[in-house]
Amino acid sequence: MKRATYTVSILWIAGLLSSPACAQTFWHGVDIADAGVFGEDMEAIHNAIQTGMTDLAPTPTGFPTGDMVDEGQRGLRIYKPDKTWDGYTLLNCFTPTGTEKNGNNVLIDMRGNIVNEWTFPGAGYLSAAKPLPGGCIAGSSVDPEAMTPGGGRVTQLSWDGEVVKQWDTNMHHDHEREGSPCGYYAPGAEPMLEGAKVLVLESTRPDPDETKHISRKFIKDDMIRELDWNGNELFRWECWKHFEQLGLCEWARAGLDLGRNYEGPDFMADMLPEDWSHGNAVAWCGPNKWYDAGDLRFHPDNIIADFRSLNITIVIARHDHPEGQWKQGDVIWKLGPDYSTASDNYRVGQIIGQHQAHMIPRGLPGEGNMLIFDNGGAAGYGALIQGLRDAEGNALGSWPNTFRLFSRVLEIDPTTKQVVWEYKQPKLSEDRDGDGRILGDEKLFFSNLMSGMQRLPNGNTLITESDVGRVFEVTASGEVVWEYVPTWFDAEAFMGVAIYRAYRVPYEWAPEGTTK
């Protein structure tokens, strides 16, 4: 009789998974390890959920995303000058403008007029360009003939696009310049133009014989380096060497060993590396009130990093603890991967595939709190239902194991892991004005991949909804006061409408005489 009951349960689960809305809540299920379920029935439950997940989205990059903006509704969509923090906005685009300069890194004014543009070869997430004072920008210049796996040389360009400085790196997704801990404008924290250190997120391929405890396949790994102005290495951190400190459970390790997290078609699975960690952000903690109050975990030199594949954000020690509690390179603070009530991470809710975790710099509202773009979509290794084992008692892990169909921007107190502020728009509103334009907080806010945010001096937050190429500014109450979508795009190209990140800079960062 019991066996028949569980067979019915499996069929019920399979039916439940036909509804995306139901699946979102079900996948965070409860621990059934002590429910008396037979091992083979547990495996059938696991397979039913996995089948439903595959039907919803075959791969992480195949998930649905926020609603695209129609061609006729692009450009400046909202501008309330009395509520915005005005300046120029740098857009890291995937598609060049089509103008005479034809740049893919574009500086616009508040009305969407192009002020200047630069070109960094490669996709937006590879260049990851950031603004510098004096009209310079810094990003990664990918050499297509170098055949380096996944990155390029950190490069500083002048206002006119000339190379000012380069570092020999294999950078992808993020980098920082001494003076600015997280890469955007804050009063009194300007990035240095000369003699500065750089912090770089890089891609490596470790020896497969040394990483078999992570995946049966060879892996693509994330490396963080700090370099001086002349390119000398001051610090190195390799993710795979700190596997044990990441706190992955037995079910997560079982999911990792499946080797399903790779970039490419099924027939190339064994030829492509396992993208096991997928780091996408690095930042220094920078000067902050927590360290001033004696919390050494947030030393200004310590490094914040997040890893999309793992649903984990960490702080890395840059120096040994004075009393021996940790060594340089140790993970000394962590958010994720466990967001259940068994962990103190549960207060923030499930974070999925996050991006651009950083501490709000001193001089800005919310300083010391951590901003995280919680993408949603799918990510994470672990059990689809906590505690599932097969008939032999082995943990039934999966990749991915979490799923949600909207994004959140979170502001977190890192000492308590409590949410201080949140922006989300989980449902598409009806056309309230009847004009066919879905603007501001009427629009579903969801970017499965990439994205980021910037705290502005007036307390507003600039948000990049990357997948659909939308950038908008919201007040603390959630009112959208500026919204822009580029008029140039290529819907047929790889991420042809996307913006990797956007940064607002003060007018004085552009050369004197630049049109406002």
- CA neighbor of 396 nearest in space, from 288, 249, 262: 249
- CA neighbor of 31 nearest in space, from 346, 389, 334: 389
Q: What is the pLDDT of residue 327?
A: 98
DSSP state, 428? P
Tell me the backbone φ, ψ of residue 168, rounded to 5 degrees: -80, 95
Indicate if the alpha-carbon torsion angle 227, 511, 180, 358 is positive or negative.
negative
pLDDT in tens, 370-426: 999 999 988 999 998 888 898 898 999 999 998 888 999 999 999 999 999 999 987
Categorize the per-residue pLDDT at 312 as very low, low, confident or very high, splitting at 50, 70 and 90. very high
pTM summary value: 0.92
More confidently predicted of 121 and 460? 460
Spatial separation of the C-alpha atoms in residues 364 and 361, rounded to whole Å: 6
- Do the Cβ atoms of 453 and 503 come closer than 8 Å? no
Spatial separation of the C-alpha atoms in residues 156 and 158, rounded to whole Å: 7
Spatial separation of the C-alpha atoms in residues 284 and 48, rounded to whole Å: 43
Categorize the per-residue pLDDT at 3 as very low, low, confident or very high, splitting at 50, 70 and 90. very low
In 3-state terms, what secondary structure has residue 243? helix
Spatial separation of the C-alpha atoms in residues 123 and 129, rounded to whole Å: 11
| Helix (H), strand (E) at residue 10 | helix 2-16
Contacts of 512 (CB under 8 A, 6+ apart): none
- Do the Cβ atoms of 90 and 454 come closer than 8 Å? no
Q: What is the pLDDT of residue 175?
A: 97
Tokens representing residue 492 in the block: 């047929």
Note the helical H segments in 218-332. Answer: 250-256, 289-292
Asked if residue 181 has pLDDT above 90, the reply is yes
Spatial separation of the C-alpha atoms in residues 350 and 402, rounded to whole Å: 8
As a whole number, the mean pLDDT across the chain is: 87
> Dihedral angle at the C-alpha atoms of 26, 2, 50, 403, nearest 10 degrees?
10
Spatial separation of the C-alpha atoms in residues 91 and 111, rounded to whole Å: 14
Structural domains in the chain, CATH included, are 2-509 (2.120.10.30)
Positions of E strands within 61-213:
75-79, 88-93, 105-108, 114-118, 130-131, 137-141, 152-157, 163-177, 198-204
pLDDT in tens, 330-376: 999 999 999 988 889 999 999 999 999 999 999 999 999 999 999 99
Q: What is the pLDDT of residue 41?
A: 81
For 86-127, what is the HEC assignment? Answer: CCEEEEEECCCCCCCCCCCEEEECCCCCEEEEECCCCCHHHH
Asked if residue 146 has pLDDT above 80, the reply is no
Query: Among 42-51, 249-258, 503-512, which stretch is predicted with the lowest mean pLDDT?
Result: 42-51
pLDDT in tens, 246-286: 999 999 999 999 988 887 777 888 888 999 999 999 999 99
- CA neighbor of 114 nearest in space, from 144, 91, 80: 91
